[in-house]
Chains A and B, each alone.
Chain A
Amino acid sequence: MSDPVMTSSETPPIPQKVTGLRRAALAEFWHYFAMNKGAVIGLFVFAALVLTAIFAPLIAPHPFDMQYRDALLVPPVWQDGGRAAFLLGTDAVGRDILSRLIHGARYSLFIGFFVVIIALVSGVILGVLAGYFRGWVDALIMRIMDIILAFPSLLLALVLVAILGPGLFNAMLAIALVLQPHFARLVRAAVMAEKSREYVTSAKLAGASHIRLMLVTILPNCLGPLIVQATLSFSNAILEAAALGFLGMGAQPPTPEWGTMLATAREFITRAPWVVTFPGLAILITVLAINLIGDGMRDALDPKLKRS
C-alpha cells in the first residue's frame, strides 16, 4: 500500500508554495480591509500617532516638563489671550499642553503594546493548554478565567494596583491580567474546533509531538479571531490605563500620561476648560482609530461576513 503523504520527495517545494500562499492571503486581507474606508482612515491616524510617539522630542515645541512661570493657564491660540507659542494653551503650572500630549502618545501606545503582548502570550498559552488537553487542566484553567471575569474589570484592576502599589507598570500588569481571559477563552474554543479536523489527525499520525501539534499545527489556524481580539484589547488597555490614571492609581504626576493629565486638570474644569478638553480628545481619537482598524480587521478576517 503506497502512502503518498509520507513520500519525502514532495517536501522541498512546499516552503515556496507557502510563501506564495501567504502573499496571496495578505493581498486578500488587504483587499477586504481597504473596502472599509473607516478602517483605512483609522490606520492612517494610527500611523501618524506612532510617528508622533517615536519622534516626540523632535516634534514637541517645548520640553514636556518645562514650566513657564509667566504663562500659567494660557488659553489655546484661537481664544482671547492665547499665544502663538502655546497652540493648545498651558496648564496650571505653565507647561505646554501640546508638547505634553505629544509625549503622552508614547505612554498610551506603549501601554497598548505592552498590555496586549502580556495578555496575548499568557492567554494563548492557557487557552491552548485548556483546549488541547481538556479534562481537569481545562476545568481548572477555565474556572480561574471565570473568576477573573466575574469581577468588573476596572474594579479588579483597581484592587490589584492597590495591592501592587500605584504606578504605570503595576497598572499595566493589572490590566493585562483582567484582559487575558478573553484571549484564553477565544483560543480554547478555536483549538477545540480545530483539534478534531483531519489535518490535525494526519499530523498526529505523522508523529508530531504535543508541542508541535499545539503551536505549529493548530495555533496558526486560530489567528484570525486572535488578531481582532488583540486590536480590541489594545484600545481597551489604553482606556483602562487612562481611567486608572484618572483615579490616581495609574501613572503618577508629573508623567504626561493622558488620563493622569485629566486627573490633575479636574479642578480647573470651569476656569480653564481646555486643560480638560485636549487630553480626553487625544484618548478618544487614539481609541477610535484603533477600533476603526479593529472593525476593518473583523470584516477582512471573518469568512462569514466575506461571502455576504
Chain B
Amino acid sequence: MLRYILNRLALIIPTVIGISIAAFAFVRLLPGDPILAMAGEHGVTPERYEMLKEQFGYNVPIWQQYINYVLDILQGDFGTSLSTKRPVLTDFLTLFPATVELALIAMLLAIIIGIPAGIFAAVKRGSWFDQLTMGVALTGYSMPIFWWGLLLIIFFSGTLGWLPVSGRIALNFFFRPITGFMTIDSLLYGNWKAFVSAIRHLILPAIVLGTIPLAVIARQTRSAMLEVLGEDYVRTARAKGLSPSRVVNVHALRNALIPVVTTIGLQVGMLMAGAILTETIFSWPGIGKWMIDSIAKRDYVVVQSGLLLIALIVMAVNLLVDLLYAVINPRIRVQ
C-alpha cells in the first residue's frame, strides 16, 4: 500500500511543476503591460516604471522570474492582489469556505438522491420508475446550469417569493467567522435565526450546483448496479435463497459502489467549474466569483495564483480519491 501511495505521489510531481509553469505563463501571455496595469489609470513616469519593474521582479530574465515565483510560493507567498492590495492567499482563505460549504451541500444533495435513485432504477430495470429517473437524469446532465439557476430564481424568489436571490445570509446578521461556514458559525454563536437564513440562502445555489453531479451519480450507480446484478456471485446469493433485499443491499451494493466512489471524486473538478457559474448567478462570495471578477478586472496576480491554487486542490482531491479507491478495491493496489 505504501509503495502504491509513493508511486502515485511521484507521478504527480511533473504535473504539479507543469501546472505552475502553465499558471505562470498564462499571466505573461495576457494582453497589456502588467506594470502599466498595476500602476492604474494615472500612468507612470519612466523612472517610476523602472522602479515598479524592479519592485515586482520583472527586471530579471523570465526563467529567473519563474524560479523566484516558485520560491515565493514555497514560502507561502502567493503575491498581493492588485485590486484589494491584500495577500492573495488571505483573500483565498477568506473566500474558500464559502465555495466549500456550497459544494459540500450540493454534493450531499446529489449523493442522497442520486445513489438511491440509481439503485432503485437498476433493481426495477425497465419499469416506469427506471425510465422516468433516467429521463430526468439525462435532462439534468444536459442542463445549462446558469439558465437553470435563473429559472429557479424566477419561480422560487420571484413568483413565490420563498427564497432569497443572492448572498450567503441576510445582511442584518453579522458575526466574525470561526470556521467560515455560515451554517456552522451561526450555530456556534447560538443564533438560530441566522442559521435558518444561511440555510435558506443555500438551497437554490446548492440545487443548481448539485444538478449535474446528481445526474451523473444516478446514471453511474444504475449502470454499476446493473453490471453487478448480472454477476455470478449475485446469482449464487439468490440461488441460496437469500431475501432480495439482502442480495441487493449486501452482495450487490457494496461492489457497485466502488466505481460510484470514483465518480463522486471526479466531480470535484466539475464542481469548481459549476461554482464559477453558480456563484456568478447568486452573487455567492466564493472562489468562482473571485476568479471571474479578477479576470474581468485584469488582476493578473490573483488569476495566476488562483489558477494554481484551484488546480492543486482539484489534483489533491483526485489523488485522495485514487488512494481511497485502492483502499476499498484491493485489486488496484496489487498491480
Contact = CB atoms under 8 A, between A and B. Distances in A.
B118 to A, nearest CB: 15
A239 interface: yes
A276 B18 CA distance: 41
Contact of A159 (B31, B135, B144, B295): B295
Contacts of A150: 15, 19, 311, 314-315
Nearest to A291: B142
A102 to B, nearest CB: 18
A38 B135 CA distance: 9
A270 B144 contact: no
Contacts of A48: none
A288 B142 contact: yes
Interface stretch (B48-56, B89-97, B147-155): B147-155
Contacts of A308: 230
Contacts of B272: 152, 155
B143 interface: yes
A155 B280 CA distance: 13
Interface stretch (B22-30, B195-203, B252-260): B22-30
Interface residues of B, number: 42
Contacts of A269: 150, 153-154, 158
B14 A291 contact: no
A283 B142 CA distance: 9
Interface in A163-200: 163, 165
A150, A262, A292: which has the most chain B beta carbons within 10 Å?
A150
Interface in B276-291: 276-277, 280, 291
B269 interface: yes
A76 interface: no
A239, A242, A290: which has the most chain B beta carbons within 10 Å?
A239
Contacts of A290: 142
A154 B138 contact: no
Interface in A40-61: none
A75 interface: no
Contact of B291 (A155, A279, A284): A155
B150 A284 contact: no
B147 A279 contact: yes
A262 B146 contact: yes
A149 B22 CA distance: 12
B191 interface: no
Contacts of B314: 150-152
B70 to A, nearest CB: 16
Given A269-B150, A284-B139, A152 B273 contact: yes
A292 to B, nearest CB: 7
A153 B273 contact: yes
Given A155-B273, A284-B143, A162 B295 contact: yes
B139 A154 contact: no
A246 interface: yes
Contacts of A253: none
A287 B147 CA distance: 13
B146 A243 contact: yes
A243 B277 contact: yes
B307 interface: yes
A242 B151 contact: no
A165 B230 CA distance: 52
A233 to B, nearest CB: 14
Interface string B143-174: 11011101101100010000000000000000
A202 interface: no
Nearest to A242: B144
A73 B228 CA distance: 54
A99 interface: no
Contact of B147 (A158, A248, A276): A276
A284 B15 contact: no
Nearest to B270: A152
A291 to B, nearest CB: 5
B237 interface: no
A276 B150 contact: yes
B30 A162 contact: yes
A143 B26 CA distance: 18
A67 B173 CA distance: 46
Contacts of A279: 147
B144 A291 contact: no
A159 B26 contact: yes
Contacts of B142: 235, 239, 284, 287-288, 290-291
B276 A158 contact: yes
Given A144-B18, A239-B144, A262-B147, 5 more contacts: A149-B269, A152-B269, A155-B273, A163-B30, A248-B296
Interface of A: 38, 143-144, 146-147, 149-155, 158-160, 162-163, 165, 235, 239, 242-243, 246-248, 259, 262, 266, 269-270, 273, 276-277, 279-281, 283-284, 287-288, 290-292, 295, 308
14 contacts: A38-B138, A146-B18, A147-B19, A152-B272, A153-B269, A154-B273, A155-B273, A159-B303, A160-B26, A246-B144, A246-B277, A259-B144, A291-B138, A308-B230
